[in-house]
Amino acid sequence: MNPVFMMLHNESDYNTVVKVEQYIAEKLAEYIETKQKSVVHYSDGDHFNFSIDNFDSVSSGLKANYDDFYSFKNINTGESYIISTNQNKLRDFCAYINRLTN
């Protein structure tokens, strides 16, 4: 299974890219393998409660291919993140966002 990375939004400093926990990586692999086309909710009742959806790059004003980006939402906190198995592309995207916002 490929590792999965997440872009963390930091309002007071630069955004960063970190490797996600194994259970998130497993669920993203499942999401990709089953070729989901809409949001899927994952919960075990104790440790995790989140959803994964395809990243809507068009609504974000992006024109490049971001088919390997996904929207991750922590249901408990309402926080949303971008996740991907493509670490280099996500780091480049993070650097682009940092240049625009800092």
Task: Please give the Cα distance from 51 to 43 (Å, whole number).
Answer: 9
pTM over cut 0.75? yes
Backbone angles phi, psi at 33, to 5 degrees: -60, -35
* C-alpha dist (Å) from residue 67 to 32, 35, 54, 83, 85: 11, 12, 8, 11, 11
Task: Please give the Cα distance from 84 to 49 (Å, whole number).
Answer: 19
Q: Domain-by-domain residue ranges, the chain?
A: 5-101
CA 68 to chain centre: 9
Per-residue pLDDT of the chain (102 residues; tens, 9 = 90+): 789 999 998 888 899 999 999 999 999 999 999 998 899 999 987 778 999 999 999 988 888 899 999 999 999 899 999 999 999 999 999 999 999 888
Structural contact between residues 84 and 4, judged by C-beta atoms closer than 8 angstroms: yes
Strand intervals (E) in the chain:
5-8, 16-19, 40-43, 49-54, 69-74, 80-84
